[in-house]
Every structure is written in C-alpha cells, then in structure tokens.
Amino acid sequence: MEPNEFSVRWDGSVYAEETGTYEFIVKSENGVRLAVNDTKNLLIDAWVSSGPNVRDEKKSIFLLGGRAYPLSLEFFKFKEKTASIRLLWKPPHGVIETIPQEDLSPERLRETMVVKTTFPRTIGASATSAARACQRRGIKPPPRRRWTWWSTWMHTSTS
C-alpha cells in the first residue's frame, strides 16, 4: 500500500433511538462517501479531494426510532500530505456530536423501508362508528380483522 494513496471502507449499522430527521456530517480533506439505509443512493457523495482544507459535508435523512440501519463510509487519500475523517450526527432534538459507540455496530443489517406520509386527521372515530359511516355511504367495510389497525390509526393520527 502506498503511504500517499489508499482507501478505506467501513460497513456496519447505526441505531436511531428516536424517530425524526438525523443530520449526518462527514469532516475530511479527502474523498468521502456515506450511505445510510440505502446502498444504491449515497447520502453524501464527496468523492473528491479538497487539498489541505478540511471540509464539512452534511445531509439529512428521516429515520424511524428503535431501529438499526445499514451504514457504509468510504474514504480515500490521493497524494495529499494529510488524511483524516470524522463522522458525526445531529439526532432529532439533539446537538452535533460524534456518533456514540453504543449506536454503531459492525454487523451490517438489511435496508429498512421508511415511508413518511401524512394521514388525514380524524378525532373520536372507533371501529363501530367507522363501520356505521361506511354503511351510511353504501361502502362495504373491510373485514373485521382490519378494524384493529383502522381504529388504532384513527385514534393516533396526529397530522
């Protein structure tokens, strides 16, 4: 390996404690790429050297709390005098910090589908009242086994 030319790749997982938007920050004077929960689309693509100046590359992603997401960080040095890399994040309602060790794992997990959808707000609906509303409109209600989800959604929707 040449001392002035090398690359490194870290693969593992990052744990999101709470649901919300996480900002990931990579600081380096060298080329970097970061993928979080999506190996095909990079969250940060700064695959160029910036010379002696350390730069910050920042991007945000929405993550569901209580889950771990695959993370891949690539880094290269090409004939620069120095090499450094630092990975930080700003969790929802938090401050910019180095990602805590307990939130990182060397085990690479599968990607998680995260859908951010706004549902209509309905207050006070229950399975029974929803079934009556369907009957009044001449709509056949879904099978009974789905009413648990429907009722839960109707009571917990906050948009």
pTM for this prediction? 0.66
The domain containing residue 158 runs over which residues? Answer: 117-159
Same domain, 71 and 122: no
Count: domains in the chain: 2
**How far apart (Å, rounded) are the C-alpha atoms in residues 57 and 71?**
16
Task: Identify whether the C-beta of residue 49 lies closer than 8 Å to the C-beta of residue 80.
Answer: yes
Q: Note the maximum CA span of the chain.
A: 76
- Per-residue pLDDT tens over the stretch 77-133: 877 778 888 999 999 999 999 999 999 998 876 666 665 566 555 555 555 666 666
Same domain, 89 and 127: no
Same domain, 85 and 133: no
Please check whether residue 78 lies inside any domain of the structure: yes
Same domain, 91 and 64: yes
| Phi, psi (degrees; rounded to nearest 5) at 42 | -75, 140
Same domain, 35 and 98: yes
Average pLDDT, the chain: 78
Same domain, 121 and 101: no
- Per-residue pLDDT tens over the stretch 141-159: 555 443 344 444 444 444 4
Same domain, 84 and 124: no
- Give Cα 79 to chain centroid, integer Å: 33
